[in-house]
């Protein structure tokens, strides 16, 4: 008789459930509609981003949020793939404010400093120049050669105030401390 061999043990780390997570989302404007999602999948099937991504699924993000699996939602870079086109919101038969809930989740991620590097860079560019992308001197000269007017200068004090109000300063600070 062949000797029995033990199956290799799998290293399974249980997911942490945080029942308070859904309430954090639901207390924000439009976040309260999270509770009425019944997981039909219309949002995912109509989402233009999901069509081109193997991992981005708004329905799944909402379910993970309902279940309180914070660790799979906030640090995930896929959270930032939403283009805020609102197709999901228009198509949801339950009236769930899907796009707004995704915005709430991104705001919670910002508060925790869980933001992809590219967005902290964009926020820093806006803070320093008023533009999401730094416009090089070469580009400015090219505009002049083509007879185009110089780009308008941003009011950096107003940009500073707006970033402070919108929470963008947190992004910049988290970049500075890296
Ligand atoms: S379409 Fe609405 S009800 Fe259906 S899964 Fe998406 S959010 Fe939930
Ligand atoms: S708002 Fe975001 S989640 Fe909704 S359909 Fe558009 S890209 Fe997809």
Any ligand 1 atom below 6 A from CB of 40? yes
Question: How far apart (Å, rounded) are the C-alpha atoms in residues 121 and 27?
Answer: 30
User: Given ligand 2 and candidates 34, 43, 55, 98, which is best to mutate, with the most ligand atoms within 8 Å of its CB?
Assistant: 98
Q: Which of 5-9, 22-26, 27-31 has the lowest mean pLDDT?
A: 5-9
Give tens-digit pLDDT for 90-106: 999 999 999 999 999 99
Question: How far apart (Å, rounded) are the C-alpha atoms in residues 33 and 36?
Answer: 6
Residue 1 pLDDT class (50, 70, 90 cuts)? low
Count other C-beta atoms under 10 Å from residue 42's C-beta: 19
Give tens-digit pLDDT for 166-175: 776 766 765 5
Any ligand 1 atom below 6 A from CB of 47? no
Q: What is the mean pLDDT of the chain?
A: 90
Distance between Cα 25 and ligand 1 center (Å): 16
Any ligand 1 atom below 6 A from CB of 37? yes
Any ligand 2 atom below 6 A from CB of 58? yes
User: Given ligand 2 and candidates 56, 86, 103, which is best to mutate, with the most ligand atoms within 8 Å of its CB?
Assistant: 86
C-alpha radius of gyration, the chain, whole number: 22
Q: Is the distance from CB of 95 to CB of 34 less than 8 angstroms?
A: no
Q: Scanning the structure block, which residue is given the tokens 């793939």?
A: 81
Give tens-digit pLDDT for 154-169: 899 998 898 888 776 7
pTM: 0.82
Distance between Cα 102 and ligand 2 center (Å): 9
């Amino acid at each position: 008789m062949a000797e029995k061999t033990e199956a290799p043990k799998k290293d399974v780390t249980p997911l942490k459930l945080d029942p308070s997570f859904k309430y954090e989302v639901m207390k924000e404007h439009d976040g309260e509609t999270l509770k009425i999602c019944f997981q039909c999948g219309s949002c995912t099937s109509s989402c233009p981003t999901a069509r081109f991504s193997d991992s981005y699924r708004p329905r799944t993000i909402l379910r993970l949020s309902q279940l309180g699996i914070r660790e799979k939602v906030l640090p995930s870079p896929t959270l930032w793939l939403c283009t805020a086109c609102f197709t999901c919101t228009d198509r949801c038969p339950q009236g769930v404010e899907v796009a707004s809930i995704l915005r709430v989740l991104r705001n919670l991620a910002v508060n925790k400093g869980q933001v992809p590097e590219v967005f902290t860079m964009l926020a820093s560019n806006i803070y320093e120049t008023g533009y999401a992308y730094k416009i090089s001197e070469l580009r400015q000269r090219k505009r002049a050669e083509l007879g185009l007017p110089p780009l308008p200068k941003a009011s950096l004090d107003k940009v500073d105030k707006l970033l402070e109000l919108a929470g963008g300063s947190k992004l910049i600070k988290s970049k500075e401390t890296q």
